[in-house]
A = this chain, B = another copy of it.
Amino acid sequence: MKENKYDDPDFFDQYRQMDRSVHGLHGAGEWHILQRLLPDFKGKRVLDLGCGFGWHCRYAVEKGAVSVTGIDISEKMLQEAGKINNLPEISYIRMPVEEIDYPENTFDVVISSLTFHYIPSFQSVCEKIQQCLTRGGHFVFSVEHPVYTAQGRQEWIYNGKEEKEHWPVDNYFQEGKREAVFLGKQVIKYHKTLTTYIRTLLLNGFELSDFVEPVPEQNMLDSVAEMKDELRRPMMLIISAIKK
């Protein structure tokens, strides 16, 4: 049974209070980068893997997508998506991302925001996207950075004065399950190396078109003191690839 933490009522309550839930895309610190890496959506058929509240689905439609399929395992997430991001071009489907099975040439663009670190195998997801994406189509995704997921706890090392000393990396080449704490709850994530993310794309018929480890926007760095810590270690990566 796939883990479905977002249907845990406490966890969901916490998640819905996050900036990215309340304010949508502009509440997400990496949006200014992800947005730059997204392709032209005009006339495109779009698949969003791990669509959550549907903010990226809405964005694609607003930018001209003719149809958007949003996949998520969580009923609560999709209920909310159906309320706040309900547009006739969007179909929300409840399903684990790993179980998608679309025929060739179903989509022109596949996007996924911060979902693949919940999924054990990037290989199997890549194969399925390769299958349903049209040739020349774009696959753009963000994911937690391997530096962020490697050790597992996802917490800074503090010194005696409660200052952040450095970020710990360990067990980097041991891919697989990690028990992280997110929103006060234990959440299962799956660490993968950078080699796995990049090589799996290359070996499955994708050309890498962009790769960015996002940092907060300058106005965030200037106005929120603790944002400067985000320059001390990478937390996410955003990759854009094209099906050859």
A232 to B175, CA, bound (A): 11
- Whether A168 contacts B170 by the Cβ 8 Å rule is no
Task: For the complex, count residues of A whose C-beta is within 8 A of B.
Answer: 33
Instruction: Knowing A202-B209, A211-B202 are in contact, say whether A151-B166 is a contact too (CB < 8 A).
Output: yes
Residues of chain A from 169 to 196 with CB closer than 8 A to chain B in the complex: 169-174, 193-195
CB neighbours (8 Å) of A18 from chain B are none
| A207, closest chain B residue (CB) | B207
| Nearest CB in chain B: distance from A211 CB, A | 4
Instruction: Knowing A147-B147, A166-B169, A169-B166 are in contact, say whether A212-B195 is a contact too (CB < 8 A).
Output: yes
A173 to B215, CA, bound (A): 8
Across the A-B interface, the 3 shortest Cβ-Cβ residue pairs: A166-B168, A173-B231, A198-B211
Chain A interface (Cβ within 8 Å of chain B)? 147, 150-151, 157, 165-174, 193-195, 198-199, 202, 207-213, 215, 231-234, 237
